[in-house]
Amino acid sequence: MTNKLHVALIFGGDSSEHDVSKRSAHNIYDAMDQNKYDVSLFLVTRSGIILSDADSRKVFAGESEEQVIANAQQKPADFPLAPIMELNSVKKIDVFFPIIHGNLGEDGTIQGLLRLLKTPYVGSGTMASAMAYDKDITKKLLNECGVRNTKYVLITAANRRQWDYQQLTEHLNSTTLFLKPARQGSSIGIHQINNQDQYEAGLEDAFRYDDKILIEEAIEGPEEVEISILGNEHPQASKLGAIKVPKDDGFYTYDNKFVDASQVEFTIPVQLPDEVTAEITEMALKAYRELELKGMARIDFLVSKNLTPYFGEVNTLPGFTNISLYPQLWEASGISYSELIDRLIQLAQDEFVRQQKLLHDFKPLKQGDQKKVYRSR
């Protein structure tokens, strides 16, 4: 008999961050205390099939994912209940730990599935994940509650011909613009724009990833600063870290993050004036609460030349690769990698208990009471 918690790692996915997710899952698995946890692995393939624990371990061990898929005894990819059946095939999972970056993982999809399975899971809920994944929705909500962020114009297929580069520069009061898919991560589809040709080419690329594109003003002389958040109703913030990318790149690209970070300078923790550090921390915690996030998030800021911080974006399932800042910032703040995993798992259990209590305490109206309510309207 064992008192170990049974934790299921779900990783991979159908987004452009598939391989990054696999690296994050490896690191989390390696950091988990084997005396505390039994771990099952579920790889979500690019085609949306969830591989069994045995087949997922083959990929973990270095076998070709394509070959493992070819040999796997899986349900057809178009069978809609196959993912649920595969996850349900392993009995008594205590906590799910999804680490699917981008689409399926951070947009609320996997959270909805895990909620159906009535099992605790690490990270934010369905609605909060979906809101935070959409940069347009996030900005609208944060503008409403007073968290400073960059000005932007939303471009869709419907209004694409209504804007050109010159009009955008005048509206945003910036000759350098940044173009981003609203629902994408890891700097994929992002372009720095300085003329009409770059604008048109950037739109063509960004529309490959999403049908909502943000055009944002550029911040003068920005420093990219990141902060990690941990917790549920009472979140705590880590120390701040800074990223300095090669001048020619202009911003923190996918290659900087995951292919070759040798030219990127990381400063952890970064020393900023106390009042700026306090403002960023306050803005991050406010955004976390307003978006109703749970478990964890990494929040990125841009600090202008005159030391004004601007909210950039939030990552609800941040990377756990060897160079990912979320665990590094907690390490610098006194929480080890293994302890961080422990706390995330505990937070998942706490949130599940809270939600179950709400359901238990909910008393549906009796038929007679419903009639009284309707008459009172």
3 state DSSP class of 245: coil
CA nearest neighbour of 235 among 97, 123, 118, 357: 123
* 300 belongs to an annotated ligand binding site: yes
**What's the confidence (pLDDT) of residue 245?**
74
3 state DSSP class of 98: strand
pLDDT digits (tens, 9 = 90+) for 278-331: 999 999 999 999 999 999 999 999 999 999 999 999 999 999 998 899 999 999
Enumerate the H helices of the chain as residue ranges.
Answer: 18-31, 53-60, 65-71, 82-87, 109-116, 126-133, 135-145, 165-172, 196-206, 254, 274-290, 325-332, 337-361, 367-376
* 306 belongs to an annotated ligand binding site: no
Cα separation of 144 and 150, whole Å? 14
56 is catalytic: no
pLDDT digits (tens, 9 = 90+) for 41-57: 999 988 888 888 899 99
Cα separation of 262 and 247, whole Å? 14
* 164 belongs to an annotated ligand binding site: no
**What's the confidence (pLDDT) of residue 60?**
92
DSSP category for residue 51: P
Q: What is the pTM of this model?
A: 0.88
- pLDDT string in tens for the chain (377-residue length): 468 999 999 999 988 889 999 999 999 999 999 999 999 999 998 888 888 889 999 999 999 998 998 887 655 455 656 666 667 666 789 999 999 998 889 999 999 989 988 999 999 999 999 999 999 999 999 999 999 999 999 999 999 999 999 999 999 999 999 999 999 865 788 999 999 999 999 999 999 999 999 999 999 989 999 999 999 999 999 999 999 876 655 555 555 444 455 668 899 999 999 999 999 999 999 999 999 999 999 999 999 999 999 999 999 999 999 889 999 999 999 999 999 999 999 999 999 999 988 877 766 656 655 555 444 44
Active-site position among 16, 56, 324, 333: 324
Q: Which two tokens stand for residue 224?
A: 């990219």
Active-site position among 15, 24, 129, 186: 186
Q: Tell me if 348 sits within 8 A of 93, measured CB to CB.
A: no
17 is catalytic: yes
Taken in order of first residue, the domains within the chain and their CATH numbers are 5-121 (3.40.50.20), 151-217 (3.30.1490.20), 223-354 (3.30.470.20)
Active-site position among 17, 65, 106, 226: 17
Q: Tell me if 229 sits within 8 A of 284, measured CB to CB.
A: yes
